[in-house]
Each structure stands twice: as C-alpha cells, then as structure tokens.
Structure 1
C-alpha cells in the first residue's frame, strides 16, 4: 500500500547546504512519496511535468533523503536542463512553410501545398494545408513507413553478412529505446530512427542482430558489434546527444 504524504521540497540547480532554498539559485521541485515495505530503497525520477519524484520506503529517514538528494543534485540539474531544452525545441516545431525537418540525417524544407495526400517527399516535405494541424501525427506515419522500407532492405543485408536469423521486425513509437530484441527473434525499432543518419540506423540494426546471438551487453557482445562496425561508439554517441532533438519533431 502506498502512502503519499503530498510533501514537496525544492532543491537548487547548483549544490548548496541545507536548507534547500538558496538565494539566487533556480529551484527543482521534488515530491517525496513514501511506500510501505521492509526493504530500504530510494528511487528518483523525472516526471512528465518537469518535476521530480522520490519514492522511498518508510524506513528511510529525513536526513538520509537530504544526503541522497544532495549527492544527486548535479544529475538532477543536468536532467532538468535537458528537459527544459526539449520542451523549448518542441515549441519551435510548428509545421510552417519553409520549416526544416529531418530525414535520414539531412534537413529538408516543408512546402505547404493544396493536396488531398497529407504528406509526400520529393526533396521537399510536401505537407497538405489541410493536414498541417495534425503535423506530428502525419510525420510519425511518414517516418514509420519510410523506416520500415529501409529496415526491410538493410536487415536482409546485415543478417546475411552476420549469419544471424530473426523471425519478424516492426517499427513502433518508443521514446526510450532505439531498438529491442525479444526472445532472440523478434526485433522492434523506433520510428525516431528515420531522422538519424543511415550509418546510425545501421548501428542499431547491427546492435539488435547481435542480440539474436548474445543477450547481455558484455564484452563478448560489444566485440561482435565492433567486428561489423568498428566506429560503433561514435554512432551510439550521436544517438545519445540527439535524442531530444528527434523527439521534438514528433
């Protein structure tokens, strides 16, 4: 049974001593949620509204909470800054004429047109004026279909080259994972990849195909990835650095 005391505190973006309110610093709101249980634990998460929740077992003391939050102040600051940046990026996407959107790592302009078809691509994103208000939904559908075609071709190439087998693959709208491999046969990819450079998409394909042989991310796993793509770290870094940008478009 959960007991939510409805208690919230504020922590500064920059570390400072107790009490939490420090003059001149931006504040981070943290909701403390106490959960009954025998085991001591603390779980800190960023919520969808940009505030944090800290779930703690009823055995955790106030001073332990203070110490935990102080220790994680830097992570909270960076995470909140990334969240605020992502929100700002999303606000700037309006699906206007001349606005640039990504496809396979390159930027192309939107051209508003009078057409029954919501979206087509010929070097421009030809977006129907009638579909502009549903721009995010329209682009998600477009990205899903075009990535499906790309994956269909590249999975065949890499699975043959790597001597890997899989049963099916699909494209979904996940925002926290780039790809997944279930039961070593079922592959799933996020439509966000349609905006990434093709070599980055290929990295995710290789990554998931290796999972059809090796489940865990150990040394053996990464050695297999490196055999096919020696610069895989560079591609993974691109994904880490550009997640918020990709999310802002859809």
Structure 2
C-alpha cells in the first residue's frame, strides 16, 4: 500500500491476522510493515499511517542518513556530521571560525559529550520512573566497544557517540541499562523487562549493529 503524506510516499506492506490491534513496524532497512486485524479497511490503515506519519518519516530519514555516512571526515564548515540521527554541517553544530582542524575535532567531541549528557539525563529521568529504579551515578564516556554499561554498584555509563543516534535508539540504550538494575545478566526476565517498556527493542539493536559504524568521528 502506498500512502501520500506531506509530499512523501510512504510504502507499507500490510499483514492481516487474528490480532486485536493495528501496529506499525519499521525495520533497520526502512521496510515498513503494518500488522492489522482481519477485515481492517484500507481507510483505517491509511488513517493510522497518516497519524504516525511524522514519526515514520523521521525514522526513515535517520536510516537514510546512517546509510550515507561519509567515508572521510571533513573538518570544515561544509563537513557533515550526525546529531540525533540527522546530518548537519559542522558550522551548525559548533563555532568553526578561526579554528584549525585539531581544535575543530576537539570542540566537536566536546559538543557530543555535552549533548549526550543532557539527553541521557533527560531520558534516564523518564524511564527510571517507569521502571521504578534509580542508578547511583551516570557518566558519559568514550568507548569503542560499548554503547552503555551497568556495574554491580548501579553505576551507569553511556558512550558519547550516542548523541549521533536517533532519539528512539538512545532511549533503547537507556532502557537497556536501567533494566540491568533489576537483572544484571541477559536472561529471559531481563528481555521481558526491556520489552515491557520498548516492544520493538530488536529493531533498535539491529539499527546499532547495522549503522553504528557511521556514528563516529
């Protein structure tokens, strides 16, 4: 099914089945699947997609941006860098006037650290209330291997590069680490807890696995 929304064509694959509610899923490649109860009308499906149209387009744009990651970083005004799932010119993120390349690199990293700290603090506050947990401390760090971690003493760390990811992907990493305050391993109970807050967490995991290499300096 093709649906026109704000001068864009949203193409969906519709799957009917014995379910009670209609749901919309977008995988890491940008493929959209609408799962609908049997006998759901085309108008109902169209209305649901249009209602979530803005969020759908934002997610598709984030996936497209990650796919188009530049192979070399250009530390100049017209160089492009990811922030919250979208590409921006360097001068839109930091002051580039009278700065050499090393200064630009350092200032951009500082920008990401600051942005990540602010966003993570906001999202932790939201989700810790839902999960009824509270970390002892939160830190933003530089890591090549982990997006986040939770220690046995309830200390959470988050990779500064998360500031490059779409907000819903940041939310997944925040929820993941907060759930470790209940379950330190990745057993069934842990994933049930994650899924209770974020049913589509597998899509977020797949996004990081597929496009995480684009979120770097």
TM-score by length of 2: 0.64
How does 1:8-27 map onto structure 2 within 5 Å? none
**Contact persistence 1:168–1:187 (CA under 8 A):** yes
State the match for 1:210 in structure 2. 179
- The 1:100/1:168 distance shift into structure 2, 3 A limit, reads same
Which of residues 103, 127, 140 is equivalent to 1:171? 140
Kindly indicate whether structure 1 or structure 2 has the higher relative contact order, using CA contacts under 8 Å at least 6 residues apart. Answer: 2
Gaps of 5+ in 1: 1-88, 112-122
The reply on whether 1:191 has 2:160 as its aligned counterpart is: yes
Structure 1: how far apart are the matches of 2:193 and 2:132?
Answer: 12
**Deviation at residue 95 of structure 1 after TM alignment:** 1.0
Q: What per-residue deviation string (whole Å, max 9, x for no partner) do you get for residues 132-167 of structure 1? A: 333322211110011101111111110011111211
Q: What per-residue deviation string (whole Å, max 9, x for no partner) do you get for residues 183-233 of structure 1? A: 151000000100000000000000000000101111111110000000001
Structure 1: how far apart are the matches of 2:97 and 2:182?
Answer: 45
- The 1:187/1:124 distance shift into structure 2, 3 A limit, reads closer
State the match for 2:189 in structure 1. 220
Structure 1: how far apart are the matches of 2:118 and 2:98?
Answer: 26
Structure 2: how far apart are the matches of 1:131 and 1:161?
Answer: 45
Which of residues 134, 139, 144 is equivalent to 2:113? 144
Q: Which has the higher strand share?
A: 1
State the match for 1:107 in structure 2. 87
Q: What per-residue deviation string (whole Å, max 9, x for no partner) do you get for residues 24-76 of structure 1? A: xxxxxxxxxxxxxxxxxxxxxxxxxxxxxxxxxxxxxxxxxxxxxxxxxxxxx
Structure 1: how far apart are the matches of 2:84 and 2:127?
Answer: 18
**Contact persistence 1:108–1:124 (CA under 8 A):** yes
Q: What per-residue deviation string (whole Å, max 9, x for no partner) do you get for residues 100-150 of structure 1? A: 111111111123xxxxxxxxxxx5543233243333222111100111011
> SS of the residue aligned with 1:93?
coil
> SS of the residue aligned with 1:192?
helix
TM-score by length of 1: 0.56
State the match for 2:22 in structure 1. none
**Contact persistence 1:105–1:195 (CA under 8 A):** yes
Gaps of 5+ in 2: 1-68
> SS of the residue aligned with 1:130?
coil
| Aligned residue-pair number | 149
Structure 2: how far apart are the matches of 1:240 and 1:128?
Answer: 36
State the match for 2:207 in structure 1. 238
Runs of 4+ with >6 A deviation: none
> SS of the residue aligned with 2:210?
helix
